[in-house]
Amino acid sequence: MEKVYGKSTDGALVYLYSLNNKNGMKAEITNYGGIVVSLYVPDKNGKLDDVVLGFDHLESYISENPYFGAIIGRHANRIENACFELNGKIYDLYKNDGNNNLHGGVKGFDKVLWKVTEVCPNLLKLFYRSVDGEEGYPGNLDVTVTYTLSDDNELIMDYKAISDADTVINLTNHSYFNLSGHASGDILNHMLKINADKFTVNNNECVTTGEIMEVAGTPVDFRQMKSLKPGLLSNDKYIQYVKGYDHNFIINGIANKPEYCAEVYDPKSGRGMEVYTTKPGIQLYTGNNLNGSLVGKSGVQYRKWSSLCLETQFFPNAMKHKHFPSPVLKTGENYHHITIYKFKNAFI
């Protein structure tokens, strides 16, 4: 089902699409930025709640969106000094995060209008051509993102791309989850597990230094499911740098098919979410920059630690660290990446 959602800044109509499954789950997605506007999931009693942060109106996504629910590209996360070298040439990008490039630049994939190429009751396929030089990136890049809401209560995101020149690409989704419901307050009591023995170290600008550390003995050790609260309230310097979690984890044993990498459980609602991916990294972000100034859906003021993001990705700043998995896409090669968010009613 589709309906007119509003108009983009150039006057083009923007649409909102509803995907449904046989269990009553519903996802609402707009072709502006490929944004997951809402996601209704049953709790332990079968009650549906919207578990992603967002806005009631398109205008807010256009004017003040902190990437709520959006497709992120060409390159998710940060690139140090907003430049990278490829084939002996330096490419300069926009500095939209201090001295660095963040989430593709000033007008990343979160702020463009995607073409709808297929829509079904449980599927939405989007297409966008990012032209050579857009935001400083080389090559004409054709991108397809397919959202599927399965009868196994999975929101599946399938990313494909091809370029006519060597380029860099690192696509992800930036949904902010609160499994108690988007309007329920903080996520301090959410339980988290991440299948990672190591993480990439950040500096005080949240840029990876190239150092890889063991999670053991640190607040970023989520090898066993535990509450987010102790870590968020920790005085550890890696937490204090970003006032919460904003860390990339190196997933254990990633393969060519989607593999388990993380899970979240909310004791209050009984909702759980497992994450599967084909990517080597996953970024945990706890909404540290939300301060109550944004008025979200139903007039809710979203505050610090009111949600968490689990963004599957290549490692941040990988073009500066050659020992990281490379985000380079060669001419004519196929980029393909799958992420699955699978919802369940109990884990523990």
Query: How many Å apart are CA 144 and CA 126, to the nearest integer?
Result: 6
Query: How many Å apart are CA 109 and CA 134, to the nearest integer?
Result: 11
Is cis: bond before 74, omega within 30 of 0? yes
What tokens appear for 161 in the block?
């791309």
Catalytic residue among 174, 190, 247, 337: 174
DSSP character at residue 113: B
Catalytic residue among 28, 134, 263, 311: 311
Query: How many Å apart are CA 263 and CA 231, to the nearest integer?
Result: 17
Respond yes or no: is residue 337 known to be catalytic: no
Query: How many Å apart are CA 272 and CA 199, to the nearest integer?
Result: 24
Query: How many Å apart are CA 302 and CA 295, to the nearest integer?
Result: 7
Query: How many Å apart are CA 105 and CA 74, to the nearest integer?
Result: 8
Q: Which residues contact 34 (CB under 8 A, 6 or more apart)?
A: 70, 71, 109, 110, 114, 126, 145, 147, 173
Per the CB < 8 A criterion, the answer to whether 4 and 13 are in contact is: yes
Strand pairing category for 259-265 and 191-194: antiparallel
Q: Which residues contact 299 (CB under 8 A, 6 or more apart)?
A: none
Which residue in 82, 130, 110, 96 sits closest to 173, CA to CA? 110
Respond yes or no: is residue 174 known to be catalytic: yes
Which ranges of 136-278 would DSSP assign to H, the alpha helix? 229-232, 237-240
Catalytically annotated residues? 174, 311
